[in-house]
Amino acid sequence: MLPGDVTVYDIKWLSMWCIRFTANFGEVFIPADLNVPPLVEDVEIPAMPMMNCEELHRDMQVSWTLAGENLDVELTGRVEDGDYMAFGVSGCNDRACMVGSDVTVAWYDGDVPRAVDYTLKAYSQCSGASGVCPDDRVGGTDNNVNITGRQVNGITRIRYSRPINTGDTTTDKVIDPSQNMYISWAIGPINPSGVAAKHHTRVEVSDQVQLMFGREASDMCEMISSATPAPVTPWPTRKIKGDQVTNFTVRIGPTGGRRGYEAITGLPSWGIAYWLNGLLIPELELKRGWKYTFIVEGGNDTATPERYHPFYITDDPTGGYVQKTPAEQQQVRVFAGVDENGMPTAAGRYCEYNNPNGDTSETSETFAEYARTLQEDCMPGQAAQFTWTPDVDTPDLVYYHCFTHQYLGWKIRVVDEFTSGAAGVSAGMLAVMGTLFAGALLLGHI
């Protein structure tokens, strides 16, 4: 270490001098044009390249090296902050399918790269022992080790290692290096609880991928562009005022991508959300002392978690009451939709708005335009129903939510007197929205 501000360019020569014998044991003269390298500890040593690489999507690649009984993997993608890359072995031997898959979900948690071992037991948010869950939440083990990562120019790279046979038969697949294996992959958001939410990009049926992990080394990848998606204009938040509408039909529908749920709430979604009277998570303004009726068609088949969404009203902004520990449940209040034994009372048959041709939220400038692309699909059966009358003990802000899953609903403003100004969505406008959906439904069956 040189003293003070002295650099090597200030020094003409160096010598080894013996103080005791006052003798020069040797010297070296430093040329004026010497090219001096930087301090070695400041130079980042690049990771060894993987032996194989495959493009999964224009925004995602997987590289790997088979190292004995371990598989070293690097996921590379152009992903937004807070988004994950998921990669692993398909749940089906003859095609790519989500349910049953054994995947790693990799993302940056602030400045820390994560690569978490997941099992996909159902096409739904992790709840109890079902859904898209980290292995260690459903009786398995997180077998990923040696996790590293880097982010440069909008491109995220995360590396991890895992055994090809973990011995964990409940949550993991055995990787056979000599066989072509179907792959599951996706890109999507991590929710505020640190758990994977529903993907927004995934493998398509027409573009399924098989990989042989023990193949001869082959790099089939090109550089991913660091360009970012073009910004979109969010749809305005909808409000329904309870002085004009006192009956609410509750169904399931899509989130509307970056223009919809994410823009309204500032939170990632699971990919589905509540629709009330044909509107995506409208904010309700309800008056104390008035009685309101909720007609719920969120699904009542407990054996199919992706179609079981009981509706309830709470002061908890997250929802998913059943996912909470007993201690956490004691910290929140429930105002309607749950009985004295803590069980949901409002589920009903399953009705969903969906687009059979895929999501059009990116290209739909208005919500009405988006709504016209949807069709309504309802299972046989009856709707559930309950009434609720806010009272003096009801807080000014509560939420409607799903009993089994988080982040499906939104806000209810409870007032003593209805606010002046914007009237919200009127009963007439809701009738128009109903006509739009009816037209879309008719077109979908022509």
Per residue, the 3-state secondary structure of 102-159, as one string, reads EEEEEEEECCEEEEEEEEECCCCECECCECEEEHHHCCCCCCCEEEEEEEECCEEEEE
pLDDT single digits (tens) 250-279: 999 999 988 999 899 988 777 899 999 999
User: Does the pTM of the predicted model rise above 0.85?
Assistant: no
Of the given ranges (117-126, 197-206, 288-297, 312-321), which has the lowest mean pLDDT? 197-206
CB burial of 342-358 (b: ≥16 within 10 Å; e: otherwise) equals eebbbbbbbbbbbbeee
Four-point Cα dihedral 435, 439, 442, 446, nearest 10: 170
Percent of the chain whose pLDDT exceeds 70 = 89
CB burial of 93-117 (b: ≥16 within 10 Å; e: otherwise) equals eeebbbebbbbbbbbbeeeebbbbb
pLDDT single digits (tens) 405-436: 999 999 999 999 999 865 566 555 555 455 44
- What average pLDDT does range 104-109 have in this prediction? 96
Pick from 317, 296, 320, 346: which is nearest to 403 by CA? 320
Of the given ranges (15-29, 147-161, 379-393), which has the lowest mean pLDDT? 15-29
Instruction: Give the chain's mean pLDDT.
Output: 87
Q: Is 264 exposed, middle or buried (0-12, 13-18, 19+ CB in 10 A)?
A: buried
Q: What is the DSSP string of 7-51?
A: -GGG-SEEEEEETTTTEEEEEEEPPTT--PPPPGGGSPPPPPPPS
- According to the model, what pLDDT value does residue 287 have? 97
* The pLDDT of residue 21 is above 80: no
Q: Are 267 and 407 in contact (CB under 8 A)?
A: yes
* The pLDDT of residue 139 is above 60: yes
- According to the model, what pLDDT value does residue 198 have? 83
- According to the model, what pLDDT value does residue 282 have? 97
pLDDT single digits (tens) 299-324: 999 888 889 999 999 999 999 999 88
Q: What is the distance between the alpha carbons of residues 322 and 33, in angstroms, rounded to a whole number?
A: 71
Q: What is the distance between the alpha carbons of residues 156 and 151, in angstroms, rounded to a whole number?
A: 5
Using DSSP, state whether 392 is helix, strand or coil.
coil
Q: What is the distance between the alpha carbons of residues 200 and 353, in angstroms, rounded to a whole number?
A: 17
Of the given ranges (339-343, 350-354, 371-375, 435-439), which has the lowest mean pLDDT? 435-439
- According to the model, what pLDDT value does residue 218 have? 92
Q: What is the distance between the alpha carbons of residues 156 and 228, in angstroms, rounded to a whole number?
A: 13
